[in-house]
Amino acid sequence: MSKAYSPDRDAGADAGGEVTQARSEADLLMSHDVLCVRAPNPGPLTLSGTNTWVVGRRPAWVVDPGPLLEVHLDSLSAAIDERGGLGGVALTHDHHDHCEAARSLLDRYPAPLAAGRGAVDVLLGENMRFGPFQAVATPGHAVDHFAFVAAGACFTGDAVLGVGSVFISPYPGAMSGYLQALTRLRLRDDFSVLCPGHGPPVRDARRKLAEYVAHRIDRENRLIAALGEGRRTTAELLDAVWSDAPELLRPLATVTLAAHLDKLEEEQILPAGVERPKFEGTEW
Instruction: Please count the other Cβ atoms lying within 10 Å of the Cβ belonging to residue 265.
Output: 14
Q: Name the strand (E) or helix (H) holding 256.
A: helix 250-266
∠176-92-142 over CA atoms, to 5°? 40
Percentage of the residues of the chain whose pLDDT score is greater than 90: 84
Q: In terms of pLDDT, which residue wins out, 30 or 16?
A: 30
141 inside domain: yes
Which residues, in sequence order, are CB contacts of 222 under 8 Å at separation 6+?
Answer: 240, 241
Residue 191 lies in a domain: yes
Predicted local distance difference test score (pLDDT) of residue 277: 93
pLDDT at 3: 52
The enclosing domain of 132 has a CATH number of 3.60.15.10
Is 241 inside a domain boundary?
no
pLDDT given for residue 11 in this prediction: 30
Query: pLDDT band at 1, cuts 50/70/90?
Result: very low
Could you tell me if residue 38 is inside a domain?
A: yes
Please give the tally of structural domains in the chain. 1
Q: Does residue 162 form part of some domain?
A: yes
Going by pLDDT thresholds of 50, 70 and 90, the confidence category of residue 279 is confident
The amino acid occupying position 167 is: F
Does 137 map to a domain?
yes
The pLDDT, as a whole number, for residue 186 is: 96
Query: Is pTM beyond 0.85 here?
Result: yes
* Rounded Cα–Cα distance for residues 5 and 45 (Å): 8
DSSP reduced 3-state for 24: helix
CA distances in angstroms from 89 to 72, 97, 154, listed in the order given: 15, 15, 16
Task: Look at residue 146 and tell me if it is in a domain.
Answer: yes
The whole-number average pLDDT for the span 61-89 is 98
Return the bridge partners of 37, or none.
52
Whether 17 shows a pLDDT value over 80: the answer reads no
Amino acid at 99: C
From the list 5, 65, 78, the residue with the least C-alpha distance to 39 is 65
3-state helix, strand, coil in the chain (%, to 5): 35, 20, 45
Interacting residues of 26 by C-beta distance below 8 A, sequence separation 6+: none
Please report whether residue 7 resides in a domain. no
Is residue 39 a contact partner of residue 49, using CB atoms and an 8 Å limit? yes
Give the structural domain span for 99.
15-206
